[in-house]
Amino acid sequence: MLPCLSWAQDDGEEAAEEPAAAEEGEEGVPSSSAIYLPIKPAFVVNFGGPGKLRYIKAEVSVRVDSSDAANSVRHHLPYIRNNLVMLFASQTEDTVDSQAGKEALRQDALAEVRKILFEEDGLETGVVDIFFNTLIVQR
């Protein structure tokens, strides 16, 4: 009989924890915290125009501040991927050669994601930042 009482107590403790989880955002993360969404698979694009083939490989994550923004990013992922592929492919050797150029590329990618979510869902805020987890340039 003791094991049953112990089990019933555990059940009561779990029930007490459920309202706290309901106040939290996606996957137990507090709703005020950032949500990081990796865009997979990694981007591999050629860039630089005619001549010798050059490649960029980029692993990208998007930081959003709400589950609504996270859902919007997930929903429009094909559109986001397309525009980021085009952005990466439009680079020149000069633009990806320096740290400042890579930062400008990151800012352009952030602006592109924000533009898509504004055009499609009217979200003016929500996408906080975009990060290159990996950025490899082969010349």
* pLDDT greater than 70 at residue 81: yes
65 alpha carbon, distance to own chain's centre: 11
SS3 content of the chain, % helix, strand, coil (to 5): 50, 25, 25
Which pLDDT value is given to residue 130? 98
CATH of domain 34-138: 3.30.479.30
SS3 34: coil
Whether pLDDT at 4 is above 70: no
The pLDDT score that the predictor gives to residue 48 is 84
Between CA 41 and CA 66 the distance in angstroms is 23
Q: Which residue has the higher pLDDT, 24 or 40?
A: 40
Cα separation, 125 vs 59, in Å, equals 23
Residue 122: left (phi > 0), alpha (psi -120 to 50), or beta? Answer: left
- Quote the pTM value: 0.75
Q: How confident is the model at residue 94 (pLDDT cuts 50, 70, 90)?
A: confident
Q: Where is pLDDT greater, at 105 or 15?
A: 105
Beta-bridge partners for 78: none
Helix (H, G, I), strand (E, B) or coil at 88: helix
